Structure 1
């Protein structure tokens, strides 16, 4: 019954995105390109949780050369409009959680939000390379390169269009990608697994694409004290919290797991509830969350002293399973 209910909306959504893409392909709708800055689009075909943010962070942290980098995002979940340059003391309500997280990690680079990407590019402080976060479907801008993320466990080519599935456009949209970044891979991949993924890409792109395989790893929790609690209450408001929960399970005894919606905006009641829970915690107990959730909570912590004293977050980073040098060689040549 659910498939019948979602079939027609999915069909209509597919038709709309198909026509829109064709209008850009035929030049009726115009894609603007820029000689400077060099624009690298990071995006996906499916909604949420495909590893775009870890990829953007990886590129900034490991960039080869002396280029001045910048990040431009829509600022999903913010309560503001227009162009805003992100500051270290900005709030998630003003600029969105992901842009604020970037700025907290890399305070030296310009980060901005703007729902109109062309306006954002033209208003950004001058940079050599601009990472356009979550912009694969924003075809009003033609980037120098487009990197499309797809999770290993839920590849885009097995998915369906919204609302039947999670695809923002047909899987055949992968033809516009310059490379596919496979995220959240197991630490060891067989040739057969790589071949199967490559075949899935090829069926939709009709041409071979560079494919790079990556994983994620977690560092020591960051929080108010050096010594870590042994008992954790964990919560996450991200699209795919499973890897976070799995990593948290290795850190001690899990007392409670709470899943919020992606980009959760914590209400006053939820904040007071967390504060009351923290007030009753012993010295060996703590809250553990993701970095994105932490930056959404950070502006409230001065009014929540018990939560501030018991709240930790788990840093995460992307890494290449193999072919890291080949990736940078490819990026430098394109």
Structure 2
């Protein structure tokens, strides 16, 4: 009871602080800079992690229908460095963050950069990029995007959540009105009418997407029948659920989002890998694999048994309508 009361008071205080900050930006006491070059798309959320933002960014880049130079700018959450950095395919997750490295290795032809100060990052990329995707920048109000896309999930929509620490919201649901569209991710094949009504009650265009998974990618092509699972992401349950369709699950371990694996963790998974037969593997997510890979040279058994599960986003319906809407929004 006392703990919940404390969380309630902290949540109220947090809400007051974030509301005051937004008010200062809304009334131009704090500067919010807009740039003409490049065009900027902000992809973010109101909740902390786990809203399908990363697959959506990858989808946008991979399906971009215009002949333009594309780039992704991220804060590089979890990295041990600071300042502006260009991400290379050979970069380490500890230097640039797991998500930016995953973008670069998945899409090596585009420019990926990290900078905690988004205005600085945008200015450094101005001459080389036509359209820049600002990853997880919805609360970074020092930069004003041309289009703001707000991601949420079908099962855990932002309007049913509470402010931290009672819930997962970074700011109140009033922040939705800074968005130009809502992207509802991780939808089932069939959408409930009542749920659609709730999402569409904010008077914004709403588009529904789902996730599809590929086959595990790893060190060999042997048929794996048993899996040890490891995930350090905000919401590992969809990953765990999908993994159950791939074989028998020996055990599963979850860590905090963007968890920085320690020496003891690598030693533990090396020990697990030593016990694995040829038909047994260790399966993780693409983001987690980014943090594992720079250490694999020191753990040969882990390297020989570690796989990751690729995933991609696709629209449930109205994909063409989304691109028509986005093209018109960018012109405005």
TM-score, normalising length: structure 2: 0.97
Q: Please give the per-residue CA displacement for 1:142-173, whole angstroms capped at 9, x wherever unaligned.
A: 00000000111111111111111111111011
Counterpart CA distance in 2 for 1:164 and 1:286 is 37
Residue 168 (structure 2) aligns with: 166
Counterpart CA distance in 1 for 2:264 and 2:20 is 45
Residue 4 (structure 2) aligns with: 3
Q: Please give the per-residue CA displacement for 1:222-259, whole angstroms capped at 9, x wherever unaligned.
A: 01111231010011000000000010000000001111
**Shift in Å at residue 185 of structure 1?**
0.7
Residue 178 (structure 1) aligns with: 180
Counterpart CA distance in 1 for 2:265 and 2:113 is 29
Q: Please give the per-residue CA displacement for 1:159-209, whole angstroms capped at 9, x wherever unaligned.
A: 11111111111101100000000011111113333113223xx2xxxxx10
* Correspondence 1:29-44 to 2 at 5 A: 29-44=30-45
Residue 81 (structure 1) aligns with: 82
Residue 290 (structure 1) aligns with: 285
**2:147 pairs with 1:152:** no
**2:259 pairs with 1:275:** no
User: Where do 5+ consecutive residues of structure 2 fail to align?
Assistant: none
**2:236 pairs with 1:234:** no
**Shift in Å at residue 282 of structure 1?**
0.7
Residue 65 (structure 1) aligns with: 66
Counterpart CA distance in 2 for 1:10 and 1:262 is 21
**2:141 pairs with 1:126:** no
TM-score, normalising length: structure 1: 0.96
Residue 205 (structure 1) aligns with: none
Residue 214 (structure 2) aligns with: 219
Q: Is the Cα–Cα contact under 8 Å of residues 42 and 145 in structure 2 kept in the other structure?
A: yes
Residue 251 (structure 2) aligns with: 256
Residue 109 (structure 1) aligns with: 110
Residue 321 (structure 1) aligns with: 316
Residue 187 (structure 1) aligns with: 189
Q: Please give the per-residue CA displacement for 1:106-157, whole angstroms capped at 9, x wherever unaligned.
A: 1111100000000011112611000000000011010000000011111111
Counterpart CA distance in 1 for 2:278 and 2:186 is 34
Q: Secondary structure at the match of 1:32?
A: coil
| Greater mean alpha carbon deviation, residues 73-82 or residues 299-308 | 299-308
User: Where do 5+ consecutive residues of structure 1 fail to align?
Assistant: 203-207
Counterpart CA distance in 2 for 1:192 and 1:156 is 16
**Shift in Å at residue 313 of structure 1?**
0.4
Two-structure CA RMSD over aligned residues (Å): 0.9
Counterpart CA distance in 1 for 2:173 and 2:9 is 18
